[in-house]
Structure 1
Protein backbone atom coordinates (compact mmCIF):
# COMPACT_ATOMS: atom_id res chain seq x y z
CA UNK A 1 0.00 0.00 0.00
CA UNK A 2 1.49 3.34 -1.00
CA UNK A 3 1.11 6.39 1.17
CA UNK A 4 -0.10 9.80 0.07
CA UNK A 5 2.65 12.07 -1.29
CA UNK A 6 1.11 15.07 -3.09
CA UNK A 7 2.93 18.27 -4.05
CA UNK A 8 0.88 21.31 -3.01
CA UNK A 9 3.28 23.91 -4.42
CA UNK A 10 7.04 24.30 -4.87
CA UNK A 11 7.75 24.34 -1.13
CA UNK A 12 5.05 22.18 0.47
CA UNK A 13 3.72 18.68 0.00
CA UNK A 14 1.03 16.67 1.72
CA UNK A 15 1.84 13.16 2.86
CA UNK A 16 0.22 10.59 5.08
CA UNK A 17 1.45 7.61 7.03
CA UNK A 18 -2.04 6.11 7.12
CA UNK A 19 -2.86 7.50 10.56
CA UNK A 20 -2.44 11.26 9.99
CA UNK A 21 -1.77 13.91 7.37
CA UNK A 22 1.74 15.36 7.40
CA UNK A 23 2.70 18.66 5.79
CA UNK A 24 6.30 18.61 4.59
CA UNK A 25 8.26 21.77 3.89
CA UNK A 26 11.11 21.97 1.37
CA UNK A 27 14.40 23.22 2.78
CA UNK A 28 17.54 24.03 0.84
CA UNK A 29 20.72 23.18 2.71
CA UNK A 30 23.80 25.22 1.84
CA UNK A 31 26.86 23.71 3.55
CA UNK A 32 28.76 26.99 3.10
CA UNK A 33 26.36 28.66 5.58
CA UNK A 34 27.15 26.18 8.36
CA UNK A 35 29.00 27.52 11.39
CA UNK A 36 32.66 26.67 11.09
CA UNK A 37 32.57 26.05 7.35
CA UNK A 38 35.91 26.78 5.71
CA UNK A 39 36.38 26.55 1.99
CA UNK A 40 39.21 24.33 0.92
CA UNK A 41 41.54 26.08 -1.45
CA UNK A 42 41.12 24.80 -4.98
CA UNK A 43 38.18 22.56 -4.05
CA UNK A 44 34.77 23.15 -5.65
CA UNK A 45 32.06 24.60 -3.43
CA UNK A 46 29.82 21.93 -1.92
CA UNK A 47 26.45 21.49 -3.58
CA UNK A 48 23.24 22.86 -2.14
CA UNK A 49 20.94 19.96 -1.28
CA UNK A 50 17.20 19.70 -0.82
CA UNK A 51 15.40 18.02 2.04
CA UNK A 52 11.77 17.78 3.10
CA UNK A 53 11.14 18.42 6.81
CA UNK A 54 7.92 17.61 8.64
CA UNK A 55 6.17 20.94 9.25
CA UNK A 56 2.91 19.79 10.85
CA UNK A 57 0.77 16.81 11.74
CA UNK A 58 -3.01 16.77 11.27
CA UNK A 59 -5.78 14.29 11.97
CA UNK A 60 -6.83 11.98 9.15
CA UNK A 61 -10.19 13.70 8.75
CA UNK A 62 -11.82 16.38 6.63
CA UNK A 63 -11.01 18.96 9.31
CA UNK A 64 -7.41 17.75 9.46
CA UNK A 65 -7.08 17.97 5.68
CA UNK A 66 -8.48 21.50 5.70
CA UNK A 67 -6.05 22.54 8.43
CA UNK A 68 -3.10 20.97 6.60
CA UNK A 69 -3.94 22.73 3.34
CA UNK A 70 -4.46 26.03 5.15
CA UNK A 71 -1.06 25.62 6.80
CA UNK A 72 0.68 25.29 3.44
CA UNK A 73 -1.29 28.14 1.84
CA UNK A 74 -0.75 30.64 4.65
CA UNK A 75 2.88 29.69 5.26
CA UNK A 76 3.65 30.14 1.56
CA UNK A 77 1.96 33.52 1.48
CA UNK A 78 3.68 34.62 4.70
CA UNK A 79 7.13 34.14 3.18
CA UNK A 80 6.37 35.94 -0.08
CA UNK A 81 7.37 39.42 1.13
CA UNK A 82 4.06 41.24 0.71
CA UNK A 83 3.99 44.92 1.52
CA UNK A 84 0.27 45.17 2.23
CA UNK A 85 -2.42 43.13 3.91
CA UNK A 86 -4.44 43.34 0.69
CA UNK A 87 -1.66 41.64 -1.30
CA UNK A 88 -1.19 39.00 1.41
CA UNK A 89 -4.92 38.16 1.47
CA UNK A 90 -5.07 38.18 -2.35
CA UNK A 91 -2.30 35.57 -2.50
CA UNK A 92 -4.06 33.40 0.08
CA UNK A 93 -7.30 33.57 -1.92
CA UNK A 94 -5.51 32.88 -5.21
CA UNK A 95 -3.65 29.85 -3.83
CA UNK A 96 -6.83 28.53 -2.19
CA UNK A 97 -8.65 28.81 -5.53
CA UNK A 98 -5.76 27.08 -7.34
CA UNK A 99 -5.88 24.13 -4.94
CA UNK A 100 -9.68 23.93 -5.02
CA UNK A 101 -9.63 23.97 -8.84
CA UNK A 102 -7.00 21.20 -8.87
CA UNK A 103 -9.19 19.04 -6.63
CA UNK A 104 -12.30 19.82 -8.67
CA UNK A 105 -10.52 19.05 -11.95
CA UNK A 106 -9.31 15.73 -10.53
CA UNK A 107 -12.74 14.49 -9.55
CA UNK A 108 -14.71 12.56 -12.13
CA UNK A 109 -18.43 13.10 -12.58
CA UNK A 110 -19.01 9.59 -11.20
CA UNK A 111 -17.29 10.32 -7.87
CA UNK A 112 -19.29 11.70 -4.98
CA UNK A 113 -17.43 12.74 -1.86
CA UNK A 114 -19.17 13.42 1.42
CA UNK A 115 -17.00 15.27 3.91
CA UNK A 116 -18.13 15.41 7.53
Structure 2
Protein backbone atom coordinates (compact mmCIF):
# COMPACT_ATOMS: atom_id res chain seq x y z
CA UNK A 1 0.00 0.00 0.00
CA UNK A 2 1.17 3.54 -0.79
CA UNK A 3 2.78 5.40 2.13
CA UNK A 4 4.83 8.37 0.90
CA UNK A 5 5.97 11.37 2.95
CA UNK A 6 5.50 14.65 1.06
CA UNK A 7 6.97 16.79 3.82
CA UNK A 8 6.81 16.95 7.62
CA UNK A 9 3.11 17.92 7.53
CA UNK A 10 1.61 15.76 4.75
CA UNK A 11 1.88 12.21 3.48
CA UNK A 12 0.10 10.24 0.78
CA UNK A 13 -1.46 6.84 1.26
CA UNK A 14 -4.02 4.88 -0.71
CA UNK A 15 -7.01 2.73 0.02
CA UNK A 16 -6.85 0.74 -3.19
CA UNK A 17 -9.22 3.07 -5.04
CA UNK A 18 -7.95 6.58 -4.41
CA UNK A 19 -5.09 8.65 -3.05
CA UNK A 20 -5.53 9.70 0.58
CA UNK A 21 -3.84 12.85 1.85
CA UNK A 22 -2.94 12.46 5.50
CA UNK A 23 -2.18 15.53 7.59
CA UNK A 24 -0.16 15.57 10.80
CA UNK A 25 -1.82 16.84 13.96
CA UNK A 26 -0.16 17.49 17.30
CA UNK A 27 -2.44 16.35 20.09
CA UNK A 28 -2.29 17.91 23.54
CA UNK A 29 -4.15 15.47 25.78
CA UNK A 30 -4.47 18.06 28.55
CA UNK A 31 -6.94 19.98 26.33
CA UNK A 32 -9.39 17.09 26.35
CA UNK A 33 -12.44 17.55 28.60
CA UNK A 34 -11.96 13.98 29.88
CA UNK A 35 -8.25 14.36 30.67
CA UNK A 36 -7.37 13.02 34.10
CA UNK A 37 -3.69 13.32 35.00
CA UNK A 38 -3.95 10.29 37.31
CA UNK A 39 -5.11 8.08 34.41
CA UNK A 40 -3.62 9.63 31.26
CA UNK A 41 -0.24 10.75 30.04
CA UNK A 42 0.13 14.51 29.55
CA UNK A 43 2.70 13.93 26.81
CA UNK A 44 2.01 15.63 23.47
CA UNK A 45 1.74 13.20 20.58
CA UNK A 46 1.69 13.22 16.81
CA UNK A 47 -1.24 11.73 14.89
CA UNK A 48 -1.80 11.36 11.17
CA UNK A 49 -5.41 11.94 10.17
CA UNK A 50 -7.17 11.50 6.84
CA UNK A 51 -7.60 14.96 5.36
CA UNK A 52 -8.65 14.70 1.69
CA UNK A 53 -9.13 12.19 -1.12
CA UNK A 54 -7.88 12.50 -4.71
CA UNK A 55 -7.92 10.34 -7.81
CA UNK A 56 -4.28 10.97 -8.77
CA UNK A 57 -1.01 11.79 -7.03
CA UNK A 58 -0.68 14.94 -9.14
CA UNK A 59 -4.08 16.14 -7.89
CA UNK A 60 -3.08 15.44 -4.30
CA UNK A 61 0.07 17.54 -4.67
CA UNK A 62 -1.99 20.40 -6.16
CA UNK A 63 -4.41 20.21 -3.21
CA UNK A 64 -1.49 20.41 -0.77
CA UNK A 65 -0.01 23.36 -2.67
CA UNK A 66 -3.38 25.14 -2.62
CA UNK A 67 -3.67 24.62 1.14
CA UNK A 68 -0.18 25.98 1.68
CA UNK A 69 -1.21 29.09 -0.27
CA UNK A 70 -4.32 29.46 1.92
CA UNK A 71 -2.20 29.20 5.07
CA UNK A 72 0.65 31.37 3.81
CA UNK A 73 1.74 34.38 5.79
CA UNK A 74 3.13 36.08 2.69
CA UNK A 75 2.66 39.84 2.68
CA UNK A 76 3.44 40.43 -0.99
CA UNK A 77 2.81 38.65 -4.28
CA UNK A 78 6.57 38.14 -4.60
CA UNK A 79 6.73 36.33 -1.25
CA UNK A 80 3.75 34.16 -2.21
CA UNK A 81 5.30 33.39 -5.58
CA UNK A 82 8.57 32.39 -3.88
CA UNK A 83 6.70 30.03 -1.53
CA UNK A 84 4.89 28.39 -4.46
CA UNK A 85 8.11 28.00 -6.46
CA UNK A 86 9.89 26.61 -3.39
CA UNK A 87 7.22 23.94 -2.84
CA UNK A 88 7.24 22.95 -6.51
CA UNK A 89 11.05 22.65 -6.43
CA UNK A 90 10.81 20.53 -3.30
CA UNK A 91 8.39 18.15 -5.05
CA UNK A 92 10.44 18.03 -8.26
CA UNK A 93 13.55 17.33 -6.17
CA UNK A 94 11.85 14.36 -4.51
CA UNK A 95 10.73 13.06 -7.89
CA UNK A 96 14.22 13.46 -9.32
CA UNK A 97 13.01 15.96 -11.94
CA UNK A 98 15.34 18.71 -12.99
CA UNK A 99 13.92 22.19 -12.86
Structure 1 position 96, deviation (Å): 0.9
Could you tell me the TM-score, scaled by structure 1's length?
0.69
Instruction: Quickly say closer, same or farther: Cα 1:77–1:38, change in 2 above 3 A.
Output: farther
Matches within 5 A, 1:88-107: 88-104=80-96
Structure 1 position 66, deviation (Å): 1.5
In 2, the alpha carbon distance for the partners of 1:68 and 1:90 equals: 21
Pairing partner for 1:46 from 30, 42, 45: 42
**Residue segments in structure 2 that go unaligned for 5+ positions in a row:** none
Q: Deviations over 1:6-55 (max 9, x none)?
A: 00000000111221100000000002223465767xxxx70011111111
Equivalent residues of 1:11, 1:76 under 8 A apart = no
**Residue segments in structure 1 that go unaligned for 5+ positions in a row:** 106-116
Structure 1 partner of 2:54: 58
Structure 1 partner of 2:31: 33
Count of aligned pairs: 97
- How large is the RMSD of aligned CA atoms in angstroms? 2.5
Could you tell me the TM-score, scaled by structure 2's length?
0.79
In 2, the alpha carbon distance for the partners of 1:33 and 1:93 equals: 37
Structure 1 position 97, deviation (Å): 1.4
